[in-house]
């Protein structure tokens, strides 16, 4: 596995005679790799002659109040895993490589080109993290230009991110295919795997698994009624939150948002009676760690409900 540290090194690798005309799969990550990342990488290796992974904790998607410096960094372990998986190259740039003019966290002080996908970025996650998708789209756009992949792989857990990037790729005419892979979950609890899970004790991780269970309750209610008159948004919200109420009461959960939306537009759906409409139920929940009550971790999850 080649370790590439600069834009010039990636471009030189990509232009090699044995690489330049072949399919190249790409998995952009922020490191702290887990089984979810591994599933994306394995699919890329299956689909493509070559696979590149990037590891870069992107400053432009963090707000000044967020934990950029505390974000877990496990580069040596990550490289070992990538080697074991059979990745061909890993791109490990520094901020100065991708943001030559610097990248302060305060958006008003940032200079240079940035990508905003308007109409999608402001919803759901964008309400809590208003500049998050601007940062994501910008860095992913840069990485696509550098790596020139044939396909790029993303996880369903970040569903809104996938929709935003799909629109960016389509409307800015990037010449590649985006592939969304299913969420990788704990085999025992169903909790979505996340780099942030490591901040929670085992007891709190078991409690956090109820996030997915609540979403499933809502999805099952929609599916049960698809063939009849349908259900209202409030019915679905009640089904989800009835699973979570005990944890609100103990202080283990604090809700950021629940969304019941169209999968393409991310517009909220009020009456779930359109049998052909595909729905995504998504949420963000703050989970308190029971061993350290000062620690709360924001977890996201979603389930897809296909139309019938």
Q: How far is CA 6 from the centre of its chain?
A: 25
Q: Compute the distance between CA of residue 301 and CA of residue 218 in angstroms, rounded to an integer.
A: 13
Q: Compute the distance between CA of residue 211 and CA of residue 247 in angstroms, rounded to an integer.
A: 10
Only one residue has tokens 């707000």, namely 63
Looking at the annotation, which residues are catalytic? 37
Q: What phi and psi, each to the nearest 5 degrees, are found at residue 135?
A: -65, -40
| For helices 35-47 and 75-85, angle between their N-to-C axes, nearest 10 degrees | 40
Q: Decide if 154 contacts 161 (C-beta within 8 A).
A: yes
Q: What phi and psi, each to the nearest 5 degrees, are found at residue 179?
A: -120, 125
Only one residue has tokens 């679905």, namely 236
Q: Compute the distance between CA of residue 265 and CA of residue 267 in angstroms, rounded to an integer.
A: 5
CB < 8 Å & 24+ apart, contacts of 231-240? 231/271, 231/272, 231/273, 232/270, 232/271, 232/272, 233/260, 233/268, 233/269, 233/270, 233/271, 233/272, 236/260, 236/272, 236/281, 239/214, 240/214, 240/215, 240/281, 240/283
Interacting residues of 235 by C-beta distance below 8 A, sequence separation 6+:
221
Query: Residue 165: beta bridge partners?
Result: none
DSSP label of 284: E
């Amino acid at each position: 596995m080649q370790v590439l540290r600069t834009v010039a090194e990636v471009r030189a690798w990509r232009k090699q005679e044995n690489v330049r005309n072949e399919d190249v799969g790409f998995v952009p990550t922020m490191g702290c790799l887990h089984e979810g990342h591994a599933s994306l990488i394995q699919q890329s290796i299956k689909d493509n002659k070559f696979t590149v992974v990037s590891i870069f904790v992107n400053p432009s998607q963090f707000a000044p109040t967020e934990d950029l410096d505390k974000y877990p960094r496990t580069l040596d372990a990550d490289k070992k895993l990538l080697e074991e998986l059979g990745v061909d190259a890993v791109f490990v740039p520094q901020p100065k490589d991708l943001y030559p003019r610097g990248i302060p966290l305060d958006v008003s002080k940032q200079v240079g080109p940035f990508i905003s996908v308007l109409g999608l970025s402001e919803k759901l996650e964008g309400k809590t993290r208003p500049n998050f998708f601007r940062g994501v789209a910008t860095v992913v756009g840069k990485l696509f230009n550098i790596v020139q992949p044939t396909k790029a792989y993303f996880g369903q857990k970040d569903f809104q991110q996938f929709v935003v990037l799909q629109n960016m790729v389509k409307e800015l005419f990037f010449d590649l295919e985006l592939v969304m892979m299913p969420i990788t979950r704990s085999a025992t609890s169903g909790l979505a795997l996340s780099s942030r899970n490591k901040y929670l004790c085992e007891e709190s991780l078991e409690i956090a698994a109820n996030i997915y269970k609540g979403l499933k309750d809502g999805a099952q209610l929609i599916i049960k009624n698809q063939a009849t008159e349908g259900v209202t948004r409030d019915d679905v919200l009640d089904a989800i939150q009835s699973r979570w109420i005990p944890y609100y009461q103990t202080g283990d959960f604090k809700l950021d948002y629940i969304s019941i939306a169209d999968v393409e537009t991310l517009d909220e759906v009020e009456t779930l009676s359109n049998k052909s409409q595909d729905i995504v139920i998504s949420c963000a929940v703050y989970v308190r760690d029971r061993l350290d009550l000062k620690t709360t971790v924001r977890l996201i999850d979603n389930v897809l409900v296909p139309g019938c």
